[in-house]
Structure 1
Amino acid sequence: MASGTLLYAQSGGVTAVINATASAVIRTARAKRVRVLAARNGILGALREDLIDTSAEPAAAIRALAHTPGGAFGSCRYKLGALDADRPKYERLLEVLRAHDVRWFLYNGGNDSADTALKVSRLAAEFGYPLTCVGVPKTIDNDLAVTDACPGFGSAAKYTAVSVREAALDVAAMADTSTRVFIYEAMGRHAGWLAAAAGLAGQTPDEAPQVILLPERTFDEAAFLARVRQVVERVGWCVVVASEGIRDADGRFVAEAGGSDAFGHSQLGGVAAHLADRVKQALGFKVHWTLPDYLQRSARHIASATDWEQAQAVGAAAVEFALAGRNAVMPVIVRTTDAPYRWRIEAAPLARIANHEKSMPAGFIRRDGFGITGRARRYLEPLIRGEAPLPYGRDGLPKYVTLRNRTVPRRLPAWEG
């Protein structure tokens, strides 16, 4: 048995498969006789010394965790600043790790989490504390650098493409006497990956979604309204998919909810409602719109098999890397071929990932700016393939698991931060 404890924490918005990663982390560590603690509500749990003893969970519950959505140990949007600016918090974190003999720290999240893991590794080195820090990729936005895809994205992309295709059938059936335009708002602040995935719902320009609005292209209202009118005149109806992060020529978000979150990001939401109002006022069409919001990232019932497998693969690899002493790295997905789709896991330095953002390549966006190209399809299609197994009960609902989440006794004074 390796000497020491492994601490796992989840960060930011959860996904349909983040618990699959957690399950793989715990199962892999158990196979190597390593104790795993989980921080309740992410890095805040570590700072508060609110740590969950996963050894109290039976093996069956940990296996069931692999098909349960949400974040079993809780997550948080809480960003630690620079080492100098937030030094007391980093030192408190190190005190907690010392108190519980944590020698391996796995932080499951996006860009900000990779940055935090990197800073913790540097602080531990400064104090001479033997700690290996590994970032674990997760985000439905698919905007992490280096990795070919982010666990969580494939399932959200599948949900988006399926939902848009099904909604389009509804709109087509009702267009003669009712709704002519349907607008679907997809998550994506600076990168349009999720909105682009909606493009998989149709194969030709006349199939939905006929219009996709991406943050990588400046939003031109006049051009947008003209395109919607053209589609309705030609097809009889139009489905629009808009990323929440589209901006106008002045760089302002088209729809900004006001305020910002703990990471300093503007809170978005309402772009579909805004666009619907403009279409109605300018073109006179009856419009319906939807804001799937959390449904995009929680829809485990329609998870991608590819995504589910990759979520577990990065979790298992993270433990292997940590126990091998591969500090300040992240297990990333490397695509080796498109057809057949093949991939492998490699270690990438956190310094190449932290605070970097991967946007849609120009070659993935159609020249008119309203759709995706064949290159984008070749990239996206493998990520939504397959269905992940999910047990159902006699009530017709999925059988998910709720963990006991028993905490270990605190060994330090309460955190006053």
Structure 2
Amino acid sequence: MSKKNAFYAQSGGVTAVINASACGVIETARKHKSVIGKVYAGRNGIIGALREELIDTSKESRSAIHGLLTTPSGAFGSCRHKMKSIEENRAEYERLIEVFKAHNIGYFFYNGGGDSADTCLKVSQLSESMGYPIQAIHVPKTIDNDLPFTDNSPGFGSVAKYVAISTREAALDVASMCETSTKVFILEVMGRHAGWIAAAGGLAAQEDGDAPHIILFPEIAFNREKFIARVKRTVKKQGYCVIVASEGTQHKDGTFLAESGLKDAFGHSQLGGLAPTLAQMVKDELGHKYHWAVADYLQRSARHIASQTDVDQAFALGEAAVEMAVQGKNSVMPCIVRGKGKRYSWSIGEAPLDQVANVEKMMPRNFITRDGFNITDAAREYLQPLIQGEAYPPYKNGMPQYVKLKNQLVPKKLKKSFKV
């Protein structure tokens, strides 16, 4: 096998552990010097490849790369740039191959969700037809936990831990003041079509009556009357009501409660404002004093409270991606396979990209209670192992210490620039 360089890029919304996957890719590639030359990273994701802005990771020390294990966000920069179909925009794909060829890149590791898996697959297919084959391996990542084939997605476990802990702590606050102050608290979490993150809030409850009292899932059509009735009944019984609501909560006709009418870079409906919408609903119908919060970026960047399981799996998938490439595999995604038995275990499997791309994994109906407002024991059994273990970063002067890379760019070799 001739020696080729590798290209790694981060895509979409980042996570508390995406850099652990980067660490897995780079450290493992350095162990295969006979077949892998340098590892270049895209500055701000795939845009870095299109603009020929390639970061030379060989300029980073061993300790800096290892420090990515405990550093949140995207160390090389990410982006929300959806590459269209080859038929719609062949020029972008040809530009990628042109840049890869100019820098002797034969391995493409794309760290992202479903859209990234699709891009990875198309790059592999087009490069073959252009006579410069690229081994494209998708490294899974999404806090939404909606990728198929993999038992869970890196990034989700840490978000689940953050949401469960935040729900429990906020509930204690509300419970202590509900006699004379707030009666209803709403926490809005991410999750456009799949309610995995909202479901994780259910782990906060240890006994009957514990918060959250209501969970709203995208998979369950919102019913205003039933929702208000449940809030009223809960306040009467418990003295307060804590709600965890997925941003993708929708009406029976599929429209989102919090749809703004705008579209994001991937063509998805822009969401936001569900919590205040629900709060106003409660105020209008019941007159209760309320507070609401939006977890937003806090939930996906909270490295200080990351799940050890999540960190371990993120690193292992980055490592596995390189091993698969060295073995000659192409158009595949390493994935998490849950072991059988009562004691939680996991291993690495693989899935073909043509079956992964653009497929969303929703919450199974048996994970949601019959009334649609909470999680079942089956959901708890699935979720609980994913938040296990504490993976604290190093601290100094009371603050976590995170790595900041040099991110030194490689000199450009192509005369033509490319507008993205």
TM-score by length of 1: 0.98
Aligned length: 416
Match of 2:215 in 1: 212
Q: Flag as ranges the 4+ runs of structure 1 deviating above 3 A.
A: none
Percent identity reads 59
Match of 1:406 in 2: 408
Structure 1: runs of 5 or more not aligned? none
CA distance in 2, matches of 1:215, 1:337: 29
* Structure 1 residue 323, shift from structure 2 partner: 1.5
Alignment of 1:9-408 (within 5 A): 9-33=9-33, 34=36, 35-337=38-340, 339-393=342-396, 395-408=397-410
- Comparing 137-146 and 120-129, the one that deviates more: 120-129
CA distance in 2, matches of 1:319, 1:103: 12
Amino acid at match of 2:290: V
Amino acid at match of 2:407: N
- Comparing 395-404 and 122-131, the one that deviates more: 122-131
Amino acid at match of 1:371: N
CA distance in 2, matches of 1:184, 1:138: 24
Residue pair 1:338, 1:378 contacting (<8 A) in 2 also: no
Amino acid at match of 2:61: P
Residue pair 2:309, 2:388 contacting (<8 A) in 1 also: yes
* Structure 1 residue 125, shift from structure 2 partner: 1.1
CA distance in 2, matches of 1:361, 1:172: 31
* Structure 1 residue 32, shift from structure 2 partner: 1.2
After superposition, the C-alpha distances for 1:172-222 in whole angstroms (9 at most, x for unaligned) are 000000000000001000000000000000034411000000000000011
Which SS does the other structure have where 1:327 is aligned? coil
* Structure 1 residue 339, shift from structure 2 partner: 2.3
* Structure 1 residue 2, shift from structure 2 partner: 5.9
* Structure 1 residue 347, shift from structure 2 partner: 1.4
Residue pair 2:146, 2:194 contacting (<8 A) in 1 also: yes
CA distance in 1, matches of 2:173, 2:13: 30
CA distance in 2, matches of 1:187, 1:338: 31
Residue pair 1:229, 1:283 contacting (<8 A) in 2 also: yes
CA distance in 1, matches of 2:313, 2:341: 16
Amino acid at match of 1:407: L
CA distance in 2, matches of 1:353, 1:53: 30
* Structure 1 residue 250, shift from structure 2 partner: 2.2
TM-score by length of 2: 0.98
Residue pair 2:20, 2:69 contacting (<8 A) in 1 also: yes
* Structure 1 residue 130, shift from structure 2 partner: 2.6
RMSD over aligned CA atoms reads 1.0
